Structure 1
Amino acid sequence: MSASLALVAENQKPQAQFDAEVVVLKFGSSVLKSPADAPAVASEIYSHVRRGRKVVAVVSALAGETDKLLSEARALGLDHDNELLPAYVVLGEERAAALVAIACDRVGLDAVGLSVQQLGISAEGPSQHARPVALKNNKLREALAHHEVVVVPGFGAVRDCGRVALLGRGGSDLSAVVLAAELGLDKVRLVKDVDGLYDRDPASASGNPQRYRRASWETARQLGGALVQHDAIDLAEASNVCIEVAALGRAEGTVVGHHNAPPGPVGAEAPLKVVVAGCGVVGGGLLSRLLWEDGFEVVGVLVRDPFKRRDVDAPAELFSNDVDALLAKKPDLVIEALSEGEAGHDLIRRALAQGVDVVSANKQAVALDPAGLQKLASENGARVAWSASVGGGSPMIETLRAARAAGPVAGFEAVLNGTVNFMLQRLGEGADFADALADARAAGFAEEDPSSDLEGRDAAAKVKLLSYEAFGKVPNEVPCDALSAQTKVGASPVRQIGACFDKAGHLDASVSLNDALEDALFQSLNGERNALKVFGADGRVWACKGRGAGRWATTESVLADVADIVRARRAAVELV
């Protein structure tokens, strides 16, 4: 039986049942050139996870890595037909998969990597250009059942004899199509360095290259060139799996399938002008990403002391303590990551009043009046987003919005403060209070003044924001237990639980230190990790977890909000 026929036969079964939608994303060496590109790939993956999806990420070797490995092997006498060569060459893909899994873990995603052998795509034919037949084991499905993200190497498969085979140049595209077909999906997304399939090479053609919104299999074969491997197109057509070709951070692209649509022009986009407010843990992380990413121009950074030495390599002229001067630069977007609630709230209001989009990571600022901020944004044709203000890298606001969209919410419980959770774990391990706090500072979780965390005010502000998402209003008060040197932590795990329940129209909210936990989700949280459980009025439960503190987890959540705003701006332009 041919590879195509085998996979089509396998694909007759219904989609594998998981607790969330599954997507297959493929990242090639055009976007994963070096280890420095792994955070951008993790951002793309995070954007899907925050929408409640599980991700299978198929990766190619870093740019030039395959040729390097081939050269090293041949220098030792392994010729092109040697049966041992493929096992060495796929180390490039396996290394890239491990790097991407590490980048995902850094931002708080629950990620795991598999090797070529563990993944178990079986193949037949020549060792250097084998044909995939099927997925022979359940490792992928098992990993998806227990993790948000599974990162796997492309290009490699396993023959019946147990030896590794290669799927030919561009074989990672083929791997991605195989996995989508095996999982019963109707599409696979190939993330490239261009935003779709064009009628001519957009990098070198004269005139105005036009992009296909939809392209038939035959059009893709004629124009795809090196963009999409022909074997992958053939298998996708036989397996009835559409291929989406898109760029990092872009929702739109080209869908390759049964139908064609005429190509159209794609307008050039000017970089988004951004002001970053704050250069601490979160603001510094944002600067380190935005200064080097295409599509953004950082025009200013708001700080108290423009001359203070910082841990981010940024031009000194960007730093200012003059809000008026920064807003006078007419930014498209203000990213607010100040440490003070009142100052942050005032800045958000000023920006929105001028029609400037805002993304905030400052829960104290937003919690002062979330409804008022949304109203002000609407009145001035602006957008405001604050996902990063609650949960760090854990998509709590998105989870609550999904629950509320499904029906009335009865209430929620959550571990909301990464600093406190980290300290409670250290205290449970026998550390004294001072050492636990020092460790939290050293890890980058606790601020120099940790009183907001320790007294529960930080968690209380997050309870208010989650209550607004759940019920459309905030509780009048949120009583809080404080964590101090006098807090007793014994053998049973203690967690700071923020909660709010609707009791006949009255919101009953609290932040308490709980040492009688029965919920396995909260008991299992280690270090700075946070988690949320939302209880629907109909008995359904939604949950999420992730890193709740730290530079990179919170930075990722901010960038995801930024990406949403960028997509909304593009959609608004297209409607004009």
Structure 2
Amino acid sequence: MSASRAVVEKSENPDPSSRPAAAAAEVVVLKFGSSILRSPAEAPLVASAVYGHVRAGRKVVAVVSAFGGATDQMLGEARALGLAHSNDLLPGYVALGEEKSAALVAIACDRIGLDACALSVRELGIVAEGEPEHSRPCGLRPDHLKQALDRHEVVVVPGFGAVRPDGRIALLGRGGSDLTAVFLAAELGLKKVRLVKDVDGLYDHDPNDRTAPALRYRRASWDVARKLGGALVQHDAIDLGESRGVEIEVAALDRADGTVIGKKSAPPGPAPALPPLKVAVAGCGVVGGGVLARLLSDPRYDVVGVLVRDPKKVRDVACPQSLFTADPAVLWAKKPDIVLEALSEGEAGHAVIRAALEAGCDVASANKQAVSRDPGGLQDLAKAHGRRIFWSASVGGGAPMIETVRAARAAGEVVGFEAVLNGTVNFMLERLGDGAAFAEALADARAAGFAEEDPSADLEGLDAAAKVRLLCHEAFGRSPEGEVPRDHLSEATSADGGVRQIGAAHLKDGVIAPSVRLTGEHGDPLFSSLRGEGNALKVYGADGRVWRCRGRGAGRWSTTESIMADLAEIVRARRADAGLN
């Protein structure tokens, strides 16, 4: 699907075509059942959970069940036409439900800029023996899965289905997607697999039974899991996990804690109550509107207010009018736990961030003009009030640039970076290179949702310059002095020869030399291969190593996903502080 890359990699060789694609990345196997994927509308939630792992530098195998109720519906349809349990045609039809959900989850991943692919049951190649509707996996056909992992950062696969030695499709029994996930983890040599459910772990009795408080296991032995798991985890999956030495984590979406099923048990205890967190949003444009749409449909969050310039303006998000306000004081009176700032203006955004931190709120911002003004000062202010500030969404959209720079700096001294930082400009340069007129390229960028109504910050290099300043803070611990020299994109700009807008900074004799230039002499296929709104980054270590990442750098959904990932990190940190993880 998408050619974008958003995985953190490092290499001694600056030529990305000459390095092994998957050698450095940890692989995780995640399983999402129909209790999560109730319908296609939940596919973005799965993509969001996957994104958090990719942003941390991991590759993901996502095993998915059919959408809620789909399997029973398909069984009914087939049996209405006379297909019985023992008919070999039935598994082939029913397995299409998982293949459909795998394809749609991969599409949801692609929308937010992840490099994802979906495999069919045959392409995945799990070989199983036994009854057609309750087979047991006995092998994995070589190469398909590993090749997909070499080429992509996310591989979405259907659970429940396998291929019999005679080439016909078989099913792995009710709950067979659990078995698929455990088997793939074992075949990949992993010690753990994560099953994402609609409950946060294994309990000593059904939590819906109110006759006595239900107690949750943090660790449960294989025998305890078989006794209490019921419909939560397929028994065949538990048996396989025990025989292959693969621990099974059972947890809810975006929960660090849950139940680990393995050799040992620990006594169960009360599970912490997690009331919805109160969240305020500042801004309701391209990014703010995307964030608001996600929050309003998520019961984990209670949106208490939306700060906008004109509360009466018609929005493209179905949000109660009572939530909109132009008065920051009204927002602070609602006492939000977290503020997500996505205003379009730097000074106003900076003021909102400072006020939020002083009011005791954690903050995630997508406003590079706001946070690049004084990133060190904002971090100091957050620390003084015992709060946190995140700004990954302000640089790179869906590409994890902040995380890449931090990973490089954690490994040693950073001496420079080069990057394509503005998706709008890259999109326009590609259109100009294809022969479009300047006005046409700008109109196309607006229509695609990349360019603002006033595109001057993009065209004059101000947007890229702010990002360069912020990346300098991350790379060198300080921002450059003075203005960042920058080229302007205008009707006079020639886009011939693969011109790209390159934001860069290099450390020379202790002095930071930043720039934003339009040039075709960047000398790297990482940049010349970017299409549309693509962004990419190279970070240079003093020891010669080079870190890279790429992804979608503009658009509602990729940037929304980045700020939602920051929100998830804030939530996990708050729960850890409260002893709830």
Q: Structures share a fold, TM > 0.5?
A: yes
Matched, 1:227 2:232: yes
Deviations 1:123-182 (A, max 9, x none): 111111111011112111011111110000000001111111100100000000111011
**2:257 match:** 252
**2:398 match:** 393
Matched, 1:123 2:128: yes
Deviations 1:272-324 (A, max 9, x none): 11110000001100111101101111111001111011100000000010011
**2:284 match:** 279
- Indicate the SS of the match to 1:574: coil
**2:4 match:** none
- Indicate the SS of the match to 1:441: helix
**1:167 match:** 172
Against the structure 1 CA distance between its residues 493 and 280, is the aligned structure 2 distance closer, same or farther, given a 3 Å change threshold? same
Q: How does 1:30-179 map to 2 (within 5 A)?
A: 30-179=35-184
Poorly superposed stretches of 4+, deviation over 6 Å: none
Q: State the alpha-carbon separation in 1 of the partners of residues 304 and 65 from structure 2.
A: 35
Kindly state the Cα deviation for residue 575 of structure 1 after the two structures are TM-superposed.
8.0
Q: How does 1:183-262 map to 2 (within 5 A)?
A: 183-262=188-267
Q: State the alpha-carbon separation in 2 of the partners of residues 403 and 131 from structure 1.
A: 44
Identify the match of residue 300 of structure 1 among 301, 305, 327: 305
Matched, 1:420 2:419: no
State whether residues 22 and 149 of structure 2, in contact with CA within 8 Å, keep that contact through their aligned partners in structure 1.
no
Q: State the alpha-carbon separation in 1 of the partners of residues 70 and 354 from structure 2.
A: 49
State whether residues 272 and 580 of structure 2, in contact with CA within 8 Å, keep that contact through their aligned partners in structure 1.
no
Higher RCO, 1 vs 2 (CA within 8 Å, ≥6 residues apart): 2
Q: State the alpha-carbon separation in 1 of the partners of residues 247 and 540 from structure 2.
A: 36
- Indicate the SS of the match to 2:303: strand
Identify the match of residue 552 of structure 2 among 547, 553, 568: 547
Q: State the alpha-carbon separation in 1 of the partners of residues 462 and 132 from structure 2.
A: 61
Q: How does 1:355-504 map to 2 (within 5 A)?
A: 355-476=360-481, 477-490=483-496, 492-504=497-509
Q: State the alpha-carbon separation in 2 of the partners of residues 256 and 192 from structure 1.
A: 14
Deviations 1:80-122 (A, max 9, x none): 1111111111100000000100100111111011000000001
Q: What is the identity, as a one-letter code, of the residue corresponding to 2:276?
A: P
Deviations 1:12-43 (A, max 9, x none): xxxx9733000000000000000110111111
Q: State the alpha-carbon separation in 2 of the partners of residues 49 and 206 from structure 1.
A: 42
Q: State the alpha-carbon separation in 1 of the partners of residues 115 and 281 from structure 2.
A: 29
State whether residues 300 and 320 of structure 1, in contact with CA within 8 Å, keep that contact through their aligned partners in structure 2.
yes
Kindly state the Cα deviation for residue 454 of structure 1 after the two structures are TM-superposed.
0.6
Deviations 1:196-221 (A, max 9, x none): 11111112243321111111111111
Kindly state the Cα deviation for residue 267 of structure 1 after the two structures are TM-superposed.
2.2
TM-score, normalization by structure 1:
0.96
Matched, 1:526 2:531: yes
Q: State the alpha-carbon separation in 1 of the partners of residues 254 and 486 from structure 2.
A: 40
Q: How does 1:335-346 map to 2 (within 5 A)?
A: 335-346=340-351
Q: State the alpha-carbon separation in 1 of the partners of residues 504 and 165 from structure 2.
A: 54
Q: State the alpha-carbon separation in 2 of the partners of residues 295 and 78 from structure 1.
A: 43
Q: State the alpha-carbon separation in 2 of the partners of residues 415 and 223 from structure 1.
A: 53
Q: What is the identity, as a one-letter code, of the residue corresponding to 1:424?
A: L
**2:16 match:** none
State whether residues 22 and 150 of structure 2, in contact with CA within 8 Å, keep that contact through their aligned partners in structure 1.
no
State whether residues 391 and 547 of structure 1, in contact with CA within 8 Å, keep that contact through their aligned partners in structure 2.
yes
**2:8 match:** none
Q: State the alpha-carbon separation in 1 of the partners of residues 86 and 509 from structure 2.
A: 74
Identity across the alignment (%):
69
Deviations 1:415-435 (A, max 9, x none): 110000111111111111100
Q: What is the identity, as a one-letter code, of the residue corresponding to 1:31?
A: I
- Indicate the SS of the match to 2:347: helix
State whether residues 493 and 517 of structure 1, in contact with CA within 8 Å, keep that contact through their aligned partners in structure 2.
no
**1:7 match:** none
Q: What is the identity, as a one-letter code, of the residue corresponding to 1:233?
A: I
- Indicate the SS of the match to 2:578: helix
State whether residues 119 and 137 of structure 1, in contact with CA within 8 Å, keep that contact through their aligned partners in structure 2.
no
- Indicate the SS of the match to 2:134: coil
Q: State the alpha-carbon separation in 2 of the partners of residues 326 and 524 from structure 1.
A: 44
- Indicate the SS of the match to 2:570: helix
Kindly state the Cα deviation for residue 327 of structure 1 after the two structures are TM-superposed.
0.7
TM-score, normalization by structure 2:
0.95
Deviates more, 1:358-367 or 1:529-538: 529-538
**1:508 match:** 513
Identify the match of residue 313 of structure 1 among 285, 304, 318: 318
State whether residues 442 and 451 of structure 2, in contact with CA within 8 Å, keep that contact through their aligned partners in structure 1.
yes
Q: State the alpha-carbon separation in 1 of the partners of residues 310 and 207 from structure 2.
A: 45
Unaligned runs of 5+ in 2: 1-20
Against the structure 1 CA distance between its residues 551 and 17, is the aligned structure 2 distance closer, same or farther, given a 3 Å change threshold? closer
Kindly state the Cα deviation for residue 399 of structure 1 after the two structures are TM-superposed.
1.1
Q: State the alpha-carbon separation in 1 of the partners of residues 435 and 295 from structure 2.
A: 41
Deviates more, 1:266-275 or 1:381-390: 266-275
Q: State the alpha-carbon separation in 2 of the partners of residues 129 and 18 from structure 1.
A: 36
Kindly state the Cα deviation for residue 543 of structure 1 after the two structures are TM-superposed.
1.1
- Indicate the SS of the match to 1:206: coil
Matched, 1:567 2:581: no
Deviations 1:236-288 (A, max 9, x none): 11110110100001111111111111111112122111110000001100111
**2:7 match:** none
**2:14 match:** none
Kindly state the Cα deviation for residue 189 of structure 1 after the two structures are TM-superposed.
0.4
Kindly state the Cα deviation for residue 536 of structure 1 after the two structures are TM-superposed.
1.2
Q: State the alpha-carbon separation in 1 of the partners of residues 416 and 490 from structure 2.
A: 28
- Indicate the SS of the match to 1:130: strand
Q: State the alpha-carbon separation in 2 of the partners of residues 144 and 115 from structure 1.
A: 15
Aligned length, in residue pairs: 560
- Indicate the SS of the match to 1:300: strand
Q: State the alpha-carbon separation in 2 of the partners of residues 392 and 493 from structure 1.
A: 22
Identify the match of residue 28 of structure 1 among 11, 33, 53: 33
- Indicate the SS of the match to 2:579: helix
Deviations 1:359-406 (A, max 9, x none): 110000000000000000000111111110001111110111111111
